[in-house]
Amino acid sequence: MNLQELMEEQASLRDVPAVAAGFSAAGARTTATHGSVAVTAESCFRVASLTKVFTSAALVRTLRDKGVPLGTPVVELLPGLAPDWRADESLTVEQILGQVSGLRESVDAATVRALGDGDDGLLEAARLVVRAGNEREPGRRWSYYNGNYFLAGSVLAALSGTTYESALKGNVLAPWGLARTGFETPAASVTGWDATTELPLLAYPRTRRPSGGLWSSVSDLLTACEGLLADRALLEEIRRPRTGSGDPMAYGLGWALGPSGQMYLNGRLPGYRAAIVLIPDRDYVSVALANEESALPALARLLSDMQQPLTGDDIAKAVNDFAA
C-alpha cells in the first residue's frame, strides 16, 4: 500500500493544516504527512482519549507485576475512599477499565477541573465518582465514562506509591522509550485548528489526565503498540472482550474491538483528532493524527482503507463513531 497516495486521495483532508500517519507491519514502518503546515512523524499532537491505551496498559502491567488480580475490588486498592464509597463494593479494576462499571455518570469535566492541579486532585475526582454510586449492577452493560479512568489512574498511583504521571512514565513511557509522549506541551507541538481559526493552547486539567491528557507523535504511538505486540500476555489480557452480546459494541480494556480481531480507538479535543488501529494477529498497527476538528471521518476512512486488504472489513464508521 502507498500511504502517501491514500492520504492524498482523501478529499476531506485537503484543507486540514497538518496530518501525520503511519503503520508498522511486523516491525517495518512507513510514515507520511500531508497539509500546509510542515510536520513529521515526530511532531506532537494532542491524542485525547488515546491516553486510555497507556493508562490501561500501565495498570494491567502493574497489577501483574505485583500479583494483584484484575478482579480485585477497587475499594480494596483505594481504602482512603471507603468513608465516601457509595458505589457497588464489588466493583473491580477489570470493570472500570472495561467501561462496564455501571457507575452513575454524574461527574462532569467542569466539576473535575475545579479540583485544581495538586497531587491529591485525581484521588478527589475518584472520590466524587464513587460517591455518586451505581446506576446499574457492575458488568451488566457497557457505557463510556471518563470517571472509570479517574479511578483507574488513582489505582495506578496508589499501587505505585507515587503520582499517576510518575507511575505512567515508570511503567510504560520510559520502558517503551517514548520520549515524545507526555503531559507537558512539547517543543515540537502542533497548533490546533477549527476550520479557519487557530485555537489557543489550553491547559488540560491534571485531574482528567488518565482519560485523555497526553501529547504524542506518530512514531511514539507506533512504538507503544509495538511494545504491546511484544508483550503477548499483556496484549491478550487487554484484547479479551469484557462486553456481552447485548452491548452496543465489543470492548476490551481501553480498546474497542472490531469484527476480525482489530483493536481501535479515536481521540477528540478542540483542535485535534486522533485514531489508531491495531491488528495483533497480523502484527500490524496504524495511526493517524490531525490538527483540525473536522478531520476524524477522514482519518477513520484512511485507517480503514489501510487495514482492509488484511481483514476485508470496512471499519471506517466504527472508528469514527466510537464515543471517545
Same domain for 113 and 88? yes
Same domain for 150 and 258? no
Q: Are 324 and 268 in contact (CB under 8 A)?
A: yes
Residues in the chain: 324
Q: How many Cβ atoms are within 10 Å of 140's Cβ, its own excluded? A: 16
Q: What pTM, to 2 d.p., does this model score?
A: 0.97
pLDDT bin (cut points 50, 70, 90) of residue 11 is: confident
The mean of the pLDDT values for the chain is 96
Coil, strand or helix: which one is 260?
Answer: coil
On whether residue 18 sits in a domain, the answer given is yes
On whether residue 174 sits in a domain, the answer given is no
pLDDT bin (cut points 50, 70, 90) of residue 324 is: low
On whether residue 173 sits in a domain, the answer given is no
Cα-based angle 267, 268, 273 (whole degrees, multiple of 5) = 80
Q: What pLDDT, in 10s, does the model give residues 152-184?
A: 999 999 999 999 999 999 999 999 999 999 999
Q: What residue numbers bound the domain in which 211 lies?
A: 3-50+179-321
Q: Are 286 and 23 in contact (CB under 8 A)?
A: yes
Q: What is the pLDDT of residue 125?
A: 98
Q: Distances from the Cα of 3 to the Cαs of 8, 65, 145, 298, in angstroms?
A: 9, 39, 34, 14
Q: What pLDDT, in 10s, does the model give residues 259-315?
A: 999 999 999 999 999 999 999 999 999 999 999 999 999 999 999 999 999 999 999
Same domain for 194 and 120? no
Q: Are 168 and 159 in contact (CB under 8 A)?
A: no
Question: Which CATH number is 232's domain given?
Answer: 3.40.710.10
Task: Give how many domains the chain has, as a whole number.
Answer: 2
On whether residue 171 sits in a domain, the answer given is no
Sign of the C-alpha dihedral computed for residues 73, 78, 81 and 83 taken in this order? positive
Q: What pLDDT, in 10s, does the model give residues 114-141?
A: 999 999 999 999 999 999 999 999 999 9
Going by the DSSP 8-state scheme, the letter that residue 258 receives in this structure is: -
Q: What is the pLDDT of residue 99?
A: 98
Going by the DSSP 8-state scheme, the letter that residue 175 receives in this structure is: T
Q: What pLDDT, in 10s, does the model give residues 197-230?
A: 999 888 899 999 999 999 999 999 999 999 999 9
Q: What is the DSSP string of 52-84?
A: HHHHHHHHHHHHHHHT--TTSBHHHH-GGGGGG
Angle at which helix 121-131 crosses helix 147-160, to 10 degrees, equals: 130
